Amino acid sequence: MASCPKKQRMSADSCLETFISWCETNGFNLNRKVSVKAAAARSEDGVTPWSENVVAELGMMAIEDLDKGEELFRIPRKLLIHPKTSHISKTIEINKDKLKGESGWVPLLITLMFEYTFSESSWRSYLDLCVDHHVYNLPMFWSFEQLGQLKGTGINEEVNRDLENIATEFNTIVLPFLKEHSTMFNTDVHTFELYKKMVAFVMSYSFTEPPDDVDRPPTPPMMVPMADILNHVSKHNACLEFDQDCLRMVTTCKINAGEEVYNTYGELSNSQLLHMYGFAEKPSDNVFDVVEFTSDDLFDQAKLMKEVKIELLDEKMLLLGKEETFVVGNEGILTEDEINLNLKVLFMPADEFKNYKRNNGWMSDDDEDINFDFDHLKQLPNLWKILLASVAKECLARYHNIQNEDAEFQNNKICCVYVGYVKEGQIKLLQSLLNSLNIGI
């Protein structure tokens, strides 16, 4: 049976110092104009604040002016963590067919479980810094009461699905593998809780390299030391570039001394940021924020419409299906084709609907000029506007009162601040949708 060392948790400051030393020793070429600091740090003038992200314990600060296109640091590819660089790479490769799961993360997660508990791991200082101090902010670790405050946002449903999938994957794929390789793994140490911790680590810290060919499937995630320390904002000022021998973090604009250096995790809404990374931006700052409603929301309100009896409603709902998600962003309804099709079919006269079915869903392009931007929603057919307004109003009714939540959770910054940001942004978008329809509902 494998024996695993008892890990002693170091302080965050000690871990950071050890990690920076490790980076210097391994050729990260950290630009002398930047510094990695703890969140409590301030610039030399003692005034400039650090990242406003409450959970961002680390970040990168410019200590001198940086030009656009300047390299901040580089990571040799041999120092990336993925199954092929691990100490157990041969075992993972031999068993790759057994480790295929729905997530596609199993090989990396097993790799991380081993490296995290292996005292001689090449990435010891990196894992001690990032895993031990920064993964528990994700909603998957929140209490039942805290998750309840996410009602209406869609995050709690996503978290519950995540937890179910994680448990299934562990019990059906990972645990049998661990037992089969008992010389490397100890099931008293490599537990479900540790696996869940590694899932959170991958979810919030990993990077995925863009495939060489757009037709190729996405590449598996990998861990990129140093790159994952940079915090995210939608209006970022740096990005990660993938070269043949290394990965490089490069500025995308001029950065002044005293400013934080931000990477981007992608064009993500606040609900996605909170779900996957444990934080959210102020709604006014996140240009990619969205709110969603579903086919079920649309159909439920269609059934309640008093203004008109929708012909063949049940048949139309069956044909359209109930798996559609409609997305509202800062400019309007982003899923224009999908919402246009659903509204058009729902309000089709019976004879036109029969022709639609007969033609296997084909319809003419006479409606191609319909625009679902906020500025044009008032031009939609009146019944369409009434239905959309009913959906928006129903969605708004699902949210708890943010002010009350702040009072209840005043000692919990995660619940108070980030849940508030998510709900505030979603409510604002739904209200914009409702106001733009301009029907007085």
pLDDT digits (tens, 9 = 90+) for 116-173: 999 999 999 999 888 866 667 889 998 888 888 888 899 999 999 999 999 999 999 9
Residue 6's pLDDT is 46
Longest pairwise C-alpha distance within the chain: 75
Residue 422 has pLDDT above 90, yes or no: yes
Residue 217's pLDDT is 74
Q: Give span(s): CATH 3.90.1420.10, the chain.
A: 291-437
E strand map for 277-389: 291-294, 325-329, 332-333
Nearest CA to 202 among 95, 86, 113, 89?
113
Nearest CA to 279 among 26, 55, 116?
55
Residue 404's pLDDT is 52
CB atoms within 10 A of CB 250: 16
Q: Which amino acid is at 239?
A: C
Q: How far is Cα 211 from Cα 218, in angstroms, rounded to an integer?
A: 6
What's the angle, vertex CA 287, arms to CA 160 and CA 292, rounded to 5?
Answer: 40
Residue 101 has pLDDT above 70, yes or no: yes
Q: Which amino acid is at 78?
A: K
Residue 134's pLDDT is 63
Nearest CA to 153 among 387, 388, 402, 335?
402
Using alpha carbons, list the distances in angstroms from residue 15 to 65, 132, 137, 206: 28, 10, 19, 19
| Exposed / middle / buried, residue 39 (Cβ in 10 Å: 0-12, 13-18, 19+) | middle
Residue 86 has pLDDT above 90, yes or no: yes
Answer yes or no: are the C-beta atoms of 388 and 433 closer than 8 Å.
yes
Nearest CA to 197 among 283, 138, 157?
138
Q: Which residues contact 363 (CB under 8 A, 6 or more apart)?
A: 344, 356
Which of 118-127, 157-166, 206-215, 339-348 is least confident?
A: 206-215
Q: How far is Cα 44 from Cα 25, in angstroms, rounded to an integer?
A: 27
Which of 55-64, 146-155, 279-288 is least confident?
A: 55-64
- Nearest 10 degrees: CA dihedral of 274, 276, 278, 282? -40
Residue 49's pLDDT is 47
Residue 433 has pLDDT above 60, yes or no: yes
Q: How far is Cα 223 from Cα 164, in angstroms, rounded to an integer?
A: 24
Q: How far is Cα 318 from Cα 322, in angstroms, rounded to an integer?
A: 8
pLDDT band at 47, cuts 50/70/90?
very low
Q: How far is Cα 62 from Cα 74, in angstroms, rounded to an integer?
A: 16
Answer yes or no: are the C-beta atoms of 119 and 5 closer than 8 Å.
yes
CB atoms within 10 A of CB 320: 18
pLDDT band at 309, cuts 50/70/90?
confident
Q: How far is Cα 258 from Cα 249, in angstroms, rounded to an integer?
A: 18
Task: Count how many residues are written for the chain.
Answer: 441
Domain 291-437 is in which class? alpha beta
Residue 272's pLDDT is 95
Answer yes or no: are the C-beta atoms of 343 and 354 closer than 8 Å.
no
Question: Phi and psi dihedrals of 229, rounded to 5?
Answer: -80, -25
Give me the percent of the chain exceeding a pLDDT of 70: 85
Residue 357's pLDDT is 87
Q: Which CATH number fits domain 12-277: 3.40.50.620, 3.90.1410.10, 3.40.50.970, 3.30.460.10?
A: 3.90.1410.10
CB atoms within 10 A of CB 17: 14
Q: Which amino acid is at 104?
A: G
Residue 414 has pLDDT above 70, yes or no: no
Question: Phi and psi dihedrals of 275, rounded to 5?
Answer: -60, -45
Instruction: List the structure tokens of 285.
Output: 């700052």
Instruction: List the structure tokens of 421.
Output: 């940001």
How do 325-329 and 291-294 pair as beta strands?
antiparallel
Give me the percent of the chain exceeding a pLDDT of 90: 65
Answer yes or no: are the C-beta atoms of 227 and 205 closer than 8 Å.
no
Q: Give span(s): CATH 3.90.1410.10, the chain.
A: 12-277
Residue 44's pLDDT is 44
